[in-house]
A and B are shown apart, each in its own frame.
Chain A
């Protein structure tokens, strides 16, 4: 038996992003989802004889913003091609896409390089009539052209990803980035963000790329990770059994996590690309490019870096706030009005207790609209930091804020949560607790520091959390000479 080879995953992603422009890529039909079938159509997007495409300027602007956000080089002149194949969801018999002269190349997002980003149009939606809803065994197929012609940006990464989890995390960073640009709804379940994977394994240390497979239909971040993981396992088993990976396209089934190859007939096309003669090249001028750059909001990666270097937040909190901009915005508002609370304390409250409490009431999407406003959270953090109330009391105040809103100081007063600051009063309670727990007291005297928790617990129960834990521990140790 030979020594086991250690394999390294090599993963690249291909992402299709539906742009949220007002109208379609090549005609004036409104983009709208969930309406009756075939109401958003015209002779152009139905491919009637004699019709011609015209480029949606807003789609170009959005694509240039994406190119800028991904730090791509924008081509001085990019052209559209026709990608030819027959299918009922493709009314012209060709898709207008970009091919060997794409809009943008050589970019980067986080630790993954971007190979290219280009514009194209989406196909229409096929509805298979029959019990299964699938093509096989259906009695008829209907076409809804409402989606046909929706502007898409296709983003192709370099094969820089090394694990399924990294693929998911990076895709989430991309989604946040695109969402912040305001150019797409980026919803994987609804298909406005579609992520396919190109997956291969190679012996660790090797520079060569192994045979890759293309993985499709992972319509959530969870499925993206699970699908890639399943394919990595499959490839590893093949290689370890001395077999070869076959280059093919695989379909991920989220119901049971299985992978099935698409029949070769369905994807082995000769697309006969050639330059689309009905359109002129896209040649953005310097002003258009500048406007696209200037339209960029602060993007997640830059925001995380700013939180770490300028605000001094720990990495975890910085990333969470940067990648969930709604919480980042909430944090920055709280920081603006903060009187006495440190940035890190506020960030910890936001990323910890606030997220958890809002999630409990199903209100986590828009913290700024919750009853617990950033001003209140800032005062709450200040009260805790100044030791006016204990951390435990702070959680009670936050629960109250999330449920009803209000002013933390008043809640502290009305609920009697103010920390016991009278040393004498606290000492008396500690003495009573030691007397109530003689066994624990004996262990502490004997050097078992862990036993202190039992006595602290009694004190906290007695004070309903209003005592400062640190002060209580100090008093107990003094009393017991530990």
Chain B
């Protein structure tokens, strides 16, 4: 038995039955993570298994990689930023606490774009992360370390955060399942804020069943997060075998009419639509008229919230403080100038501008109205369809450095994922096939994973996971990084 190829559900069952020695299992991952050829981990330090709760929880003995945006008491937490270098939180996030209560162990803290701002993981202050499918390419972002760790067999599962696509896009680029739950399903307490009205925690796993397991452990109302509501009813293991009786809307704005979708991605998408029909699902085109404005609205709203959320990094109480400042203002300025990276500064400037007196209505106010319109578009679509489907990412994994000088091109990576974030609805990306990178930009190389995105109405996670499970079985994606099958 190759321990590193087991899914979470398989390993947990084997540990419970005694077939698998949990120390041996943990040790295999500890060694893999310590090696870390992908720069996926910022802290390899994990939980001491002797301290772990042994209540026979569903995740007993499972090491889970945690994006370095979740506060972990006693374990350094940086959010990928220089400004939090050496910061050790005095408390633990609710999501991590719940995983531990289910028996899981923190398996190190994963690399990420600084403060979750990015789509390639190249904005980390601690170096880029490599995609295990092709180490000259990015794993996606911002949860790039989590995705690379799971795809590269350095962790059996990971958690990340998704603000505009930061779980789904790296899952797509790394051939994983990535779930962004409904806003409010999982507590945000202890999750370092980027854009509070959009940020949501979720799992990155090898299959849909594992995603359901992690979601089930983490979801729930939390008195520490007023915006959390949990899922009602809870999450069961998905079991659906076909898609008969279910309808899938394909918004033309995110599919047929969308510009910049690579031919290979489009092909896998079309093939997956046929697969849905083969499973008895009904597929037809629909519209989300305001979705094309999603990116514009997102890049006003998210930076606006970020400009306030990042004000606390002032060098007064924790984290980095630039030395030798003459006075208070100089201390603020040099601490933030040295502590933040270029993309974070760009978004703080954008957000500060958008909220400024005289510009608020034109930017923030208008972006909020677009957000409402997009949510209404989805509501209308869900009157006719059970789900809305779209590609997750317009492209397969791109080469390191290919978009770093072009922020707009980078922002377009989230074109198909941002509308669901703005609407606060759940969306899952599952691996649907492989495709070669678009040869028009001269790139060649191995075939790379392509994700397929399914979105449902708010709090429809149970049905969404069930549909994704049926489709996953039918697709039978078995490719592995390095080209070897199981």
- Interface residues of A, Cβ cutoff 8 Å to B: 43, 46-55, 82, 84, 86, 88, 91-94, 143, 270, 272-274, 277-280
- Interface residues of B, Cβ cutoff 8 Å to A: 69-71, 77, 79, 84, 87, 89-91, 93, 188-193, 195-197, 223-227, 304-305, 307-308, 310-314, 316-318, 328, 332, 352, 355-357, 360, 364
- Taking a contact as CB atoms under 8 Å apart, the answer to whether B226 and A270 are in contact is no
A83 to B, closest residue via Cβ:
B308
Question: What A residues does B192 contact at CB under 8 A?
Answer: 49-50
Q: What 7 A-B pairs come out closest when comparing CB atoms?
A: A93-B311, A272-B355, A277-B197, A277-B196, A50-B190, A49-B192, A50-B71
Given contacts A43-B91, A82-B308, A84-B311, contact A48 B191 (CB under 8 A): no
- CA A277 – CA B84 in complex, angstroms? 23
- Taking a contact as CB atoms under 8 Å apart, the answer to whether B87 and A272 are in contact is no
- Taking a contact as CB atoms under 8 Å apart, the answer to whether B226 and A52 are in contact is yes
Question: What A residues does B225 contact at CB under 8 A?
Answer: 52, 54, 278
Q: Separation in Å of the B451 CB from the closest CB of chain A?
A: 28
Partner of B355, one of A47, A50, A84, A91: A84
Given contacts A49-B87, A277-B197, A278-B196, contact A54 B312 (CB under 8 A): no
**10 A-B residue pairings within 8 Å (CB atoms):** A43-B89, A43-B91, A49-B84, A51-B91, A52-B189, A52-B224, A52-B225, A84-B308, A270-B357, A272-B352
- Secondary structure class of chain B's binding surface, majority of residues: loop
- CA A24 – CA B335 in complex, angstroms? 30
Q: Separation in Å of the B151 CB from the closest CB of chain A?
A: 26
A92 to B, closest residue via Cβ:
B312
- Secondary structure class of chain A's binding surface, majority of residues: loop
- CA A277 – CA B422 in complex, angstroms? 13
Besides A43-B89, A84-B307, 4 other A-B contacts (C-beta < 8 A): A43-B91, A82-B308, A91-B316, A93-B308
Question: What A residues does B77 contact at CB under 8 A?
Answer: 49
Given contacts A272-B356, A277-B305, contact A93 B312 (CB under 8 A): yes
- CA A422 – CA B405 in complex, angstroms? 113
- CA A93 – CA B91 in complex, angstroms? 21
- CA A262 – CA B482 in complex, angstroms? 67
Question: What B residues does A49 contact at CB under 8 A?
Answer: 71, 77, 79, 84, 87, 89, 192-193, 312-313, 318
Question: What B residues does A93 contact at CB under 8 A?
Answer: 308, 310-312, 314
Q: Separation in Å of the A264 CB from the closest CB of chain B?
A: 15
Question: What B residues does A50 contact at CB under 8 A?
Answer: 69-71, 89, 93, 188-193
Question: What B residues does A92 contact at CB under 8 A?
Answer: 308, 311-312
Q: Separation in Å of the B17 CB from the closest CB of chain A?
A: 37
Question: What A residues does B223 contact at CB under 8 A?
Answer: 54
Q: Separation in Å of the B341 CB from the closest CB of chain A?
A: 16
Partner of A86, one of B197, B314, B318: B314
Question: What B residues does A272 contact at CB under 8 A?
Answer: 307-308, 352, 355-357, 360
- CA A92 – CA B93 in complex, angstroms? 18
- Taking a contact as CB atoms under 8 Å apart, the answer to whether B190 and A51 are in contact is yes
A274 to B, closest residue via Cβ:
B355
- Taking a contact as CB atoms under 8 Å apart, the answer to whether A270 and B356 are in contact is yes
